[in-house]
Every structure is written in structure tokens, then in C-alpha cells.
Chain A
Amino acid sequence: MVSPAAVAPAGPAEGLRRQFPSGVERVTESCGDTIVYLTRESAHEALAWLRDAPGQEFDYLTDVTAVEYRDPELPLEVVYQLRSLSRRVDLRVKIALDPSGPLEVRSVWDLWHGADWLEREAYDMFGIVFRGHPDLRRILMWETYAEGYPLRKDFPLRGHFSRAEQTRQALAANPEAHYSMEELSIAEAYAELPRDMQERLARGERGVVK
């Protein structure tokens, strides 16, 4: 990512760089915000350290999202916006992923429960799988949405299908698109479904990555 400013020498990321010398790829700055690039393998440990270490105390997860650039050479980045409420400091942490490779990172739900829906949305919009997330399902589109991942750059603005096809798929309204397995287990609703639907659900045809 082209960044206009030089590397910030003694900013919020200094302690992180000393603690994880191999995990921190680089530290940049843009418009006054410090950005730390971490490797995929060290990210979870580094984020846990950022949350718990005295002097860091990034106890507030402001946002989890992803960025894909128009230039196909650039990586797809998972972006964490952190804040330390007591120290009044912000930090942006990024993990760069190869857009053609598997889009997988470890979930930070166990560190900040606020990541629950934010990671589900990143999965829904980009197809990034967050390992360790308790319930990774689509959240904004319906669960069996078949057109793809909308915020990817190869996804056209109006979608892949024609309007009639989109309308038809939307009106089809399969219950598995609207009830999760967890919900169907309540009141034994699963047992009351027709057999073919039970088989489809059992095969995992719900758009969910296990």
C-alpha cells in the first residue's frame, strides 16, 4: 500500500515491534494514524498482547473490516482498529493476505466479543474465514446467497445474476436460508422439516464454512 508518510519511529507500535520482532512486517503512518502490519501467524498472539500488556491496554476493539485494492498486485488486508480507552491511543493493525490464496485468519472473538458480528460481516462481504469464530454465518445477505462475496472487486455492482434471477432466488425463500441449525434445534423444529430439507441441511448446504 502506497503510504505518503515516513515510518513513525517512536509511536504506539514501538513496544509491539520490540515484543514481536518477526511478527511485525512493517509500521507505517497515514494521515496521522499509525498502522502496523502483522503476519498471519503471529497476529492473534500479538493482538492478545496488545490487549493485555500493561502499557498497551488496547481494551476496545473499534472495528474489524477488510480492504481489497483495485490493483491486483496488492494484498487483501484484514484491518483491526484498536483503541486504548485509558491511554486514549488508537492503533490500526493489518494482516495482508494473498487475494488468490486461502483467505483465513484466526478470529479475535475470544479477545473481544465485539468481533462477533464484525467478523461475520467480513466473512459475508469478502469471504474471509475466521477460524475459531463461534458462529460464522452470513449476516447481511441470506445464508444460502449464491452470488458470491459482494465487496470483492471482481463482484460487479449489480451482481452476477440478472434481476429476474435475483428476484426468483429471493422469492424462493427456503427455510434453511432463514433459520440456522442452532435455531432449528430449538423445540425440535429440525425433526419437523421435510426429509429432503433435513438431508440438505445435514450435508451442510447452507453457505457455512465449518
Chain B
Amino acid sequence: MSTRTVEMALSTPGLDAQGNPTLVPLGLGPERPVREGRYDEDFGAEHLLVNIGPQHPATHGVLRLVLELEGETVKRCIPHVGYLHTGFEKLGEYRQYNQLIPLTDRTDYLAPMANNVGVAMAAEKLMGIEITERCRVLRVIACEMSRIISHLVWLGTTGIDLGAYTPFLWSFQERERIYNLQESWTGARLTPSVTRVGGMMADIPDGWEAGLREFCQTFPDTLKEIDTIFTRNAIWIGRTQGVGVLTREEAINYSLSGPMLRASGCDYDVRKDRPYLGYEEYDFDVPVGEHGDIYDRYLVRMEEMRQSNRILEQALDKLRPGPINVSDPRVILPPKSRAMSDMEAMIYHFKQVMEGIKPPAGEAYLGIENPKGELGYYLVSDGTAKPVRWRIRPPAFINLASLPKMCEGSLLSDVIAINASVDIVMGEVDR
């Protein structure tokens, strides 16, 4: 058999007349001619369809992103959600009002106590119930603890996404301290179900206040350590400043809320604009950014954690002994001794246990400042024990809808950083 030598002509000789290497234009820069139609013979010209997820370590849950890439630049980003759709709203129509509370632990599982507070407050608004003073302060404590643990998860996982692995361990160690407090209060680390309509599931045990005070004293030191690592770090700044920018008008038009909205310059915070649980009596600041990029969101969330710490200390000072549940027999079981001896109390007990709480027919929407944004609960009642409609206004879902807008024109690795900065929790996005 014969061998055949095939000579292939190189498109360039490699060196020009002076002996310098010639640079081959790859056709990616602005000098590239604009052409229509298929051109797969031209390297680098065809757009690439890249699928990220739904199983992917950097998508913060089961989020699927389909990217159209031109080289490394993202032309379009199409998120797909619904991979964790649990049917909470449908399930809520088959549950009594107090049974909605454990369900809310599982929507935003990074800040479960805040969700519990939200749904209990929405039901109380529907029924026109005023909770006791001690309950109000404890609910503020629950909300702010949730804010801290949610932002700590965000901090740790965003650090991992951008390449910093150690602060994840530090932030999770701090979370363990809050978990200890949550566990000693409610019995569960992650799914506390701490509120009930009209009150709380239980009062805080002895020594709990001292434990929280100790946390509040040492937590700022950890934040300072993490701050040292990130805030003036050249890599962090290079990857986050100017990336994922949303202007103030865009942020409002996209219905963003929470740190996403405030980093873009709009100072809407439900705690200040529509105060609940006595937040107007607490002395705290709301950080507002100006550039709307990832760096501003980072600064806003770091500062929010410090402010939450401040609120926690004030709340602990405000805490006074007193009843934890409102003494309304429509919602709270009467004391057992009375239920055994007094006929009326026994009937109330019986009706509550057998039928559940029955709000009057009507509807109520209540929004609270969740760590992710404005978490709203819209409850519609027809007078029966189970709601006609339980709508969760999901801040993470609405914040995530702005991801395509933020990713257009950015690089592939920026998509991961922008996705991390939205601070999503798929349980709430998909419900």
C-alpha cells in the first residue's frame, strides 16, 4: 500500500517579514463584519446554547438557566423555574390557618421564623386580632434572627460562587449559634413553626435571653472578619463592581424588593414605610446603595446584618414579662383547667380543635420585610376554617425575574455572580 502525503496550506505562515508572529484575527472583535444567516464556517460566530442546571452547585437550588452565548458574552439568559414547585398554595386551601404555619417554614427555609410571623400576622389582620406586647417583641426578635441567618447563607454561598471557600464555614458556624437558640426555643433547628395565630407556640425558656445577648456581643466580630476578607479585596471588587447593574427605575418597574431594590437606590423598606410589630419604636438604619451592582448589594446586606444585631439588642432590652398569647378564645385554646370546668371554655376548646379557627369572610394582604424582600401573604376567607385562597407573594420569585435583564451583555462567570447576588431560595421561588 502506498502512503499519501497531504500537504495542508496554513492560512498564515506564522511569522511576518520581520520575524514577528502574526496575529490571526479570530473574528470576535468589533472589526468583525456583521453577517446574517448561518455561518458555521466562521469560528466563533455561531451562538452557543448552554444549559446550566437544574442540578448545578452554583445555582443555589434547582434553577435552570439557558444561556445564549456569543463567545463568552451572554446574549440572552432564560431562567426556568418550577423544579421545586410544591403546591403550597393549593395545599393551603386544605389546611386550617394554624396548619399553614409549618408549611411556611418550608417555603423560605433560610429564614423560617420570618415566614411564620408573616402568615400569623396575615391571619390576625384577617381576624382583627391585636397581639400582646411580649409577643410583638418576640416576633421582632424572630424576624431579625431570621434576617441574620438568611444573609449569612447568602454571604457564604456567594463567597463560594466567587471562589472564597472559608467564609462559608465561618458564616455557617455563626448560624449554628442561632440554630441552637432556635432549637432551645421551638425544638427544631430549621423548621421552627414558632408562631400561632394570636401568639407564639411557646415562650422563650430560661437563659435564652442571655444566649441571644452573648450572640449579639460576638457576632459583630465575625462580621468584621468577613468584612476584612471581602470588602477591600481586589478580586471581590473586580468581580462585583459594575456587574449586574439595575437602575432605580428598572428596579421599581421590575417590582424588586428588599436588598435588591435598596442597592439600586430606592429606599423602600416595609419596616419603615408600613411599620408592623412596633418597628417604628426601634432605632435602626436602612442601608441604601446607589450603583445597583453586586457590590452594593453585598454592602447593603452586610450593613443590614449589623442593623439587625442592633435591633436584637434593643428588643432584648424591651422584653417584659407578660402573656405570650392573646386571651381571645376564638384563636387561642383556653387554659386546660378552665376548659375542664367551665362549659363555655370547653365549647371553645372543642370548636377550635375539631374545626379550627374560623375568620370572618373577607380578605387581607400583609407584606413584611423578609430578608429576601417584601414577603406578602394574601388570605381570602369565606368564613370556614380553611382559606379559600392562600397566596404567597414571593420576593425571591419576583427578584429572579430580573435576572435576564441583568445578565444581558455580561460574561459567563458574571452570570453566576449575578445569580448569587439575587439571593434566591428556590422553595420560595417555586412554592
Contact = CB atoms under 8 A, between A and B. Distances in A.
B401 A114 contact: yes
B397 A117 contact: yes
A127 B82 CA distance: 16
Among B78, B256, B274, B398, chain A packs the most CB atoms within 10 A around the CB of B398
Contacts of B388: 67, 69-70
Nearest to B266: A85
B391 A157 contact: no
Given A31-B126, A31-B128, A141-B85, A67 B380 contact: yes
B369 interface: no
Contacts of A125: 89
Interface residues of A, number: 53
- Scoring A33, A88, A186 by chain B CB atoms within 10 A of each residue's CB, the highest score goes to A186
Contacts of B85: 140-141
Contacts of B202: none
A16 interface: no
Contact of A62 (B66, B81, B94, B374): B374
B306 interface: no
Contact of B362 (A31, A65, A114, A187): A31
B389 to A, nearest CB: 5
A112 B90 contact: no
Interface in B261-317: 266, 268, 273-274
B382 A30 contact: no
Nearest to B87: A150
A206 interface: no
Contacts of A32: 125, 364
B174 interface: no
A79 B389 CA distance: 12
B393 A81 contact: yes
Contact of A63 (B78, B254, B393, B431): B393
B360 A139 contact: no
Given A125-B89, A141-B82, A180-B78, A30 B393 contact: no
B365 A189 contact: no
A85 B90 CA distance: 31
A199 B66 CA distance: 23
Given A139-B82, A186-B49, A114 B378 contact: no
Given A4-B361, A150-B90, A188 B38 contact: yes
A31 B393 contact: no
Contact of B252 (A1, A79, A85, A188): A85
Contact of B49 (A79, A114, A183): A183
A178 B214 CA distance: 50
B363 A31 contact: yes
A11 to B, nearest CB: 15
Interface string A173-210: 00000111011001111000000000000000000000
B255 interface: yes
A79 B378 contact: yes
Given A79-B378, A187-B49, A189-B49, A113 B253 contact: yes
A105 interface: no
B369 to A, nearest CB: 13
B213 interface: no
Contacts of A85: 252, 266, 268, 273
Contacts of A35: 363
Contacts of B430: 140
Majority SS at the chain B contact face: mixed
A2 interface: yes
Contacts of B250: 113
B378 A81 contact: yes
B266 A186 contact: no
A142 interface: yes
A125 B397 CA distance: 15
Contacts of A70: 382, 388
Contact of B81 (A114, A140, A155): A140
B49 A151 contact: no
Contacts of B273: 85, 88
Contacts of B402: 113
Contacts of A140: 81-82, 85, 430-431
A118 B360 contact: no
B48 interface: yes
A49 B352 CA distance: 46
B105 interface: no
A30 B274 CA distance: 17
Contacts of A92: 365
A178 B65 CA distance: 11
Interface string B173-207: 00000000000000000000000000000000000
Contact of B393 (A3, A59, A62, A178): A62
A196 B342 CA distance: 74
26 contacts: A2-B361, A3-B361, A4-B362, A30-B363, A31-B362, A32-B364, A33-B363, A62-B367, A63-B365, A65-B378, A69-B382, A69-B388, A71-B382, A81-B365, A113-B250, A118-B398, A140-B81, A140-B82, A140-B85, A140-B430, A150-B90, A151-B90, A155-B90, A183-B68, A186-B48, A187-B68
Shortest 4 CB-CB distances between A and B: which pairs?
A: A114-B255, A140-B82, A31-B364, A117-B401
Given A31-B128, A63-B365, A121-B397, 10 more contacts: A2-B361, A30-B362, A32-B364, A60-B255, A61-B255, A79-B378, A155-B90, A183-B66, A188-B38, A189-B49
